[in-house]
Amino acid sequence: MTVKKTKTEKNQISACWLTTGILFAVAAGCMAGWARYWYGYFVLGQGVLAGLFIPWAAKTFCFGFMQPKKMVKMPGSMMLLLIFFICFMIAQAIGFGMAQPWFDPVGWLGRMVQHKTKETVWGISLLGGAAARDFRMGINGGFWIFLNLFDLFFMCFFLLVGINSQQDGKK
Amino acid sequence: MIKWFRTITFIVALLFLGTGVFIVDAPTEMTQAGQAYNHRDWDQAMRHARRAVFSSGANKELAARALKLESAIAVKLGHPETAFACLNETISIQPDCNLCYLQRGDLFYSQKNYPDAVRDFEKGLKTADAVKDKTKAYYNARLGLSLLSVGEDQKALAASEQARRLDPVSPLAYFLESKIRTQLGDLQGAFKFAHTAYQLGQKQPGFFSSPEGDMWLKYYAGVRVRYENAQHAR
């Protein structure tokens, strides 16, 4: 009987944690998109910060300031990761679009892939010498896609770490 | 203790990293906007121009330059409402910017708001001594077309003459004259001027490849058909 109860508890998740996690993913995405337009892309920094912030903030908010009551069936880690990731990415596009003079994040993405525009990247633009000279107007194409994937990989990794730390609430 | 040390280190690191990015230098931004514009990277040019406006502070001249660039990009990308907003802001900073009035008049013209276009063209051309003759001719032709649309034929005629005097190879000025002749019922004159405009347009790269150029080609074809029909009827 006890074993059965523990199993059920293990498969459940606080509704508050899930909801606030989605909300924080949306908020972080909007902020990331806005900052990405105005200040450029902080490769690795953005992914790591977002990946660590979303589960941490949801956990701190729900278990620190509120008393979670309602429990819902725990989706798999990968499903949770997908939910947060999609929320973050859509919100990032919205945040980016809101910062643009007219809302066109998808058009911008198309132009990036087609080498019609470039994105300023933190670090590279701060470097001196030849690197700063060559990349001062930003980067695009294959190198840009690689940096994005690199950043998103770290974001997903830290999101997974955060999600799985959450499962064991007392940790 | 360790927790506080880690937090402070993290904040300091972020501040250190961010300093170079968050401090925006308006002249540098304007230079980069110009470079991006020359490379036809409209997104980056727009972004740097906007950053230049936000960081311009008391440098109103630089802010006006950046806003003019923003307006030019917005026109190129087909966002007249943004171009209007930028030009209005530029005019509020530099009320004596005659080119701003002319460009805003051009926007009014493209929106078929002819009375406002006439007002802006007249205001801009009044003090446009420093503007190049070719540019003045273009805006005179635009003024003439706007005047024609609001029924001021005589004023349109004067603007047409002025446009052809300033730029004798302007196809737009000849098309304007042809339209005035059509309005006055002089079909032969209309065809003569439209034909000259057509020949001049062929020599000007890109004139007929724009949507407006297409409209003028259709106009020329219409005048030509009517003129030839009238000749056959005789």
Q: Tell me the nearest-neighbour CA distance from B115 into chain A, angstroms.
A: 28
Q: Which residue of B has its CA nearest to A110?
A: B43
For A6, other C-beta atoms within 10 Å of its C-beta total 10
The tokens describing B157, both together, are 């005629």
Q: Tell me the nearest-neighbour CA distance from A102 into chain B, angstroms.
A: 8
Round to whole Å and give the CA distance between B183 and A114: 48
Within B125-206, strands assigned E span none
Q: What is the DSSP letter of A121?
A: B
Can you tell me the mean pLDDT for B163-176?
95
In A, which residues are within 8 Å of B74 by CB distance? 101
- Residue-level length of chain A: 171
- Bridge partners of A12, per DSSP, are A73
For A80, other C-beta atoms within 10 Å of its C-beta total 24
**pLDDT, tens digit only, all 171 positions of chain A:** 444 445 555 566 778 888 899 999 999 999 999 999 998 898 998 999 999 999 999 988 888 777 667 777 777 889 999 999 999 999 999 999 999 999 999 999 999 989 999 998 877 666 666 666 677 778 888 889 999 999 999 999 999 999 888 555 444
- Asked if this assembly's ipTM is beyond 0.85, the reply is no
Give the nearest partner residue to A101 out of B22, B35, B46, using CB atoms. Answer: B46
Q: CB under 8 Å to B144, separation ≥6 — which residues?
A: B155, B156, B157, B159, B160, B163, B173, B176, B180
Within chain A, strands assigned E span 12-14, 71-73
User: Are A45 and B17 within 8 A, CB to CB?
Assistant: yes
User: Are A111 and B20 within 8 A, CB to CB?
Assistant: no
User: Are A117 and B35 within 8 A, CB to CB?
Assistant: no
User: Are B39 and A137 within 8 A, CB to CB?
Assistant: yes
The tokens describing B58, both together, are 């008391």
Give yes or no for a contact between B224 and B191, defined as CB atoms under 8 angstroms apart. Answer: yes
